[in-house]
Structure 1
């Protein structure tokens, strides 16, 4: 059995670790990992691995376990061996997996369509990440759509939660919403959600020069600007920022440009995780890291 492990201190280093086959205990189930998606979202899991406990979901095997970690992924797996009366061989699951050949789970709260992994090391982690869907029991499940689901489900869940955050706080008093890294899948999901909300403020997408035409073509934003032209944004209007990039150069320029009218910034993604970061010019008192686990914990 193999695990794909990443050096927690240097995400550009990885290894395939051979591990022994685990003998199932009472109530345990062996799930063969079939397929999974790996996107910029998974890099966020790694960068925030200690702060948000992502490294704890799948403890690594092999030497130097304190050095290496397993980045969680979203995907599908099939039950190939079961010591649980509630979950038979042949069930297909969608949920949180390690990039490995298999995952051992201890099913609890099993219903016809879902279950939670009750493994001891996951007991104190956000339950939304411990939830698995029994997809063979879903009405209309089509295996042909697995790739789209594992790629987009969690990203559009984040989009939904961001929309809920903004709307639930009355848009933080803003008259316009700025979305940084507007070409990202999570940004696009949020933009479409805001476009469908008649109460939403004006939505501006910020992106690189090479992505401007694409972002304009999806017709989800009220207007689109490149990072080079962000000073064209009307600084007299109260503004809320959703930052998918962690590009602190862009963020500091925006905060300086908007001044007191920068009402709130939600720091979401880390698409620029490998670039130098600074806080100069950033209004930290009105900025907050977006924590989906908090919003996705009432499973």
Structure 2
């Protein structure tokens, strides 16, 4: 047996290729999982763009110098097990390589799932090391695996951004400006924010995506990137940056004298990423979802945090999948070559924002 993996040049994300390598024998305590399908979104491009700074390349290292494996969220099935607590045939949700199989070393087992205890992941955040058994996962519903793979990890980030903002009383502002408004993490955040009274949620997007963003109904208004002058420059506001566009960030920091907080979340505009040093106003601060998880686990306890997240997720999932006005349509890409083409498409930011890409390398 062999494993097919999609490799990405770490300093040139457009340079991607497929690699096939023979499977190595499992060691005691390990399991081999067939990666059945995974989502590919702008969030995964962010993982690659910040792969060195945020250690995303370390989850699935490759011996090929200068190349990396982008981690993705999706579902897999255990096809070989040398661990007494994990059965062949178990279905799992979790964080996979862009490949058709993965080797894990389960530890901290519970009826709900387990962690990957591989030595190279010991210092990485536990949120990304946890694998959920679908039969016991409160987030899981049969028949919606594609939507779960596409939106569950993004929505968790969205929910935590909203919670972080509310936890800090929106830094004294009541207007929130979201870039890359058509991206799934952005509109998940807007969905949450729209449920809080007294807030104005403004989405920034391209002209081509304005109609889609307006159709969602969760933005107070939607503006093209070139229309910043439509917002009063004296407005106290928070900027939540899902684009990572350095020129846009500089323009916002320069125009809005009462910018209360600048939150950097993603990097959908890969060709325009940058640090934008010496910006006027507050320092752009990277949002790290696991830090807010740790805080709320301390505030509420893990069980209560999980309960709130599950309840919110089901509400969001139902809205996204509403048969009369769905926000998301799924497109599947079967096979290694199709997966490679889909990666390049998502990297370039091409396509319909209402589409969600599900890949299977097999």
TM-score of the pair, normalised by structure 1? 0.92
CA contact (8 A) 2:241 2:263 kept: yes
Question: Following TM superposition, by how much is the alpha carbon of 1:113 offset from its aligned partner in structure 2, in angstroms?
Answer: 1.5
1:222 equivalent in alignment to 2:224: no
CA contact (8 A) 1:126 1:296 kept: no
The whole-number CA distance in structure 2 between the counterparts of 1:59 and 1:104 is 12
Question: Following TM superposition, by how much is the alpha carbon of 1:283 offset from its aligned partner in structure 2, in angstroms?
Answer: 3.0
Q: How does 1:110-129 map to 2 (within 5 A)?
A: 110-129=109-128
Q: 1:293 aligns with which of 268, 277, 290?
A: 290
Q: Which residue of 1 aligns with 2:260?
A: 263
| Structure 1 SS opposite 2:155 | helix
| Structure 2 SS opposite 1:109 | strand
The whole-number CA distance in structure 2 between the counterparts of 1:285 and 1:141 is 40
Aligned-residue RMSD, C-alpha: 1.9
The whole-number CA distance in structure 1 between the counterparts of 2:136 and 2:50 is 34
| Structure 2 SS opposite 1:12 | strand
Q: 2:271 aligns with which of 249, 271, 274?
A: 274
Q: How does 1:103-182 map to 2 (within 5 A)?
A: 103-138=102-137, 141-182=140-181
Unaligned runs of 5+ in 1: none
1:73 equivalent in alignment to 2:63: no
Q: Which residue of 1 aligns with 2:193?
A: 194
Q: Which residue of 1 aligns with 2:235?
A: 237
Mark the CA change 1:155 to 1:211 in structure 2 (over 3 Å): closer, same or farther.
same
Q: Which residue of 1 aligns with 2:308?
A: none
The whole-number CA distance in structure 1 between the counterparts of 2:208 and 2:174 is 28
Moved more, 46-55 or 206-215: 206-215
Q: Which residue of 1 aligns with 2:53?
A: 51
Question: Following TM superposition, by how much is the alpha carbon of 1:142 offset from its aligned partner in structure 2, in angstroms?
Answer: 4.0
Q: Which residue of 2 aligns with 1:183?
A: 182
Unaligned runs of 5+ in 2: 303-362
Aligned residue-pair number: 294
Q: Which runs of 4+ in 1 moved over 6 A?
A: none
| Structure 2 SS opposite 1:33 | strand
Q: Which residue of 2 aligns with 1:26?
A: 28
Question: Following TM superposition, by how much is the alpha carbon of 1:223 offset from its aligned partner in structure 2, in angstroms?
Answer: 1.7
TM-score of the pair, normalised by structure 2? 0.77
| Structure 2 SS opposite 1:166 | helix
CA contact (8 A) 1:55 1:71 kept: yes
Q: Which has the higher contact order (CA 8 A, sep 6+)?
A: 2
